[in-house]
Amino acid sequence: MAILLGSCANTPDLPQDTEPPTSDNLTDTSPETPEDPFASLRSSGEEWITYGLAAYENGKQVENLKEFFSDRANMTYLTLYDHFFTYDKTKAVPIAEALFAFIYDKHGAEAVLNLEKRCEYKSEYLKSLGLEIEYTNAPEVEKFLASMDFSSNSTYKYIISFDNVTYYFKDFGAGSPTQYHGLLYLNTVGLYKMLDHLEENELDEGLDTNREFHYYMLFDGSGYSQTRYPSGNMYINDFSSALHESVHALGIRDSGNLWLSEGLCDYFGKTLGFNEQIAASYIQIMNVAKQGYFDEYAAAGDKSAIICKSVYEDYIAFGGKIDLASTFDLPLYTDLYAKAELETGFYNTIGDTYKLVNGKDYDGVGAELSYNQAASLVVYLVDTYGIEKVLDAYHSQDIEEALGKGYEELKADWLTYLYN
Domain match, 409 and 307 both: yes
Residue 4 pLDDT > 60: no
Please indicate, yes or no, if residue 165 is contained in any of the structural domains: yes
Yes or no: say if 347 and 353 are a contact pair by the CB < 8 Å rule. Answer: no
Look at residue 327 and give its three-state secondary structure.
helix
Question: 132: domain range?
Answer: 40-137
Domain match, 92 and 207 both: no
Please indicate, yes or no, if residue 20 is contained in any of the structural domains: no
Domain match, 297 and 407 both: yes
Please indicate, yes or no, if residue 258 is contained in any of the structural domains: yes
Residue with more model confidence, 362 or 101: 101
State the Cα–Cα distance between residues 367 and 134, nearest whole angstrom.
51
Question: Using the 8-state DSSP alphabet, how is residue 267 labeled?
Answer: I
Task: Name the pLDDT band for 10 (thresholds 50, 70, 90).
Answer: very low
Q: Please report the pLDDT score of residue 254 as a whole number.
A: 74
Please indicate, yes or no, if residue 31 is contained in any of the structural domains: no
Please indicate, yes or no, if residue 287 is contained in any of the structural domains: yes
Domain match, 76 and 215 both: no
Domain match, 77 and 202 both: no
Could you say which of 96, 112, 137 is where a domain stops? Answer: 137
Q: Please report the pLDDT score of residue 99 as a whole number.
A: 98
Q: Please report the pLDDT score of residue 148 as a whole number.
A: 94
Range of weakest confidence among 86-100, 194-208, 348-362 = 348-362
Beta-carbon contacts of 75 under 8 Å, excluding residues fewer than 6 positions away, are 69, 133, 135, 136
Domain match, 273 and 193 both: no
Range of weakest confidence among 196-205, 254-263, 394-403 = 254-263
Half-sphere exposure of residue 253: CA atoms within 13 angstroms, side-chain side = 13
For 285-320, what is each residue's pLDDT tens digit? 999 999 999 999 999 999 999 999 999 999 999 999
Closest CA to 418 of 308, 341, 304: 341
Strand order of the β-sheet with 158-162 is: 149-151, 158-162, 165-169, 213-217, 234-236, 226-227
Could you say which of 113, 137, 161 is where a domain stops? Answer: 137
Please indicate, yes or no, if residue 21 is contained in any of the structural domains: no
Average pLDDT over residues 46-70: 96
State the Cα–Cα distance between residues 266 and 378, nearest whole angstrom.
9
Domain match, 382 and 347 both: yes
Strand partners of residue 161: 149, 166
Domain count within the chain: 3
Domain match, 98 and 163 both: no
For 13-27, what is each residue's pLDDT tens digit? 433 444 444 444 445
Domain match, 275 and 360 both: yes
Domain match, 159 and 114 both: no
Strands 165-169 and 213-217: parallel
Please indicate, yes or no, if residue 15 is contained in any of the structural domains: no
Yes or no: say if 243 and 194 are a contact pair by the CB < 8 Å rule. Answer: yes
Please indicate, yes or no, if residue 23 is contained in any of the structural domains: no
Q: Please report the pLDDT score of residue 278 as a whole number.
A: 95
For 246-265, what is each residue's pLDDT tens digit? 999 999 987 789 999 999 99
State the Cα–Cα distance between residues 251 and 261, nearest whole angstrom.
10
pTM: 0.87
Could you say which of 192, 222, 253 is where a domain stops? Answer: 253
Residue 333 pLDDT > 80: yes
Q: Please report the pLDDT score of residue 33 as a whole number.
A: 54
Domain match, 193 and 290 both: no
- What is the chain's mean pLDDT, rounded? 90
Q: Percent of the chain beyond pLDDT 70?
A: 92
Domain match, 411 and 287 both: yes
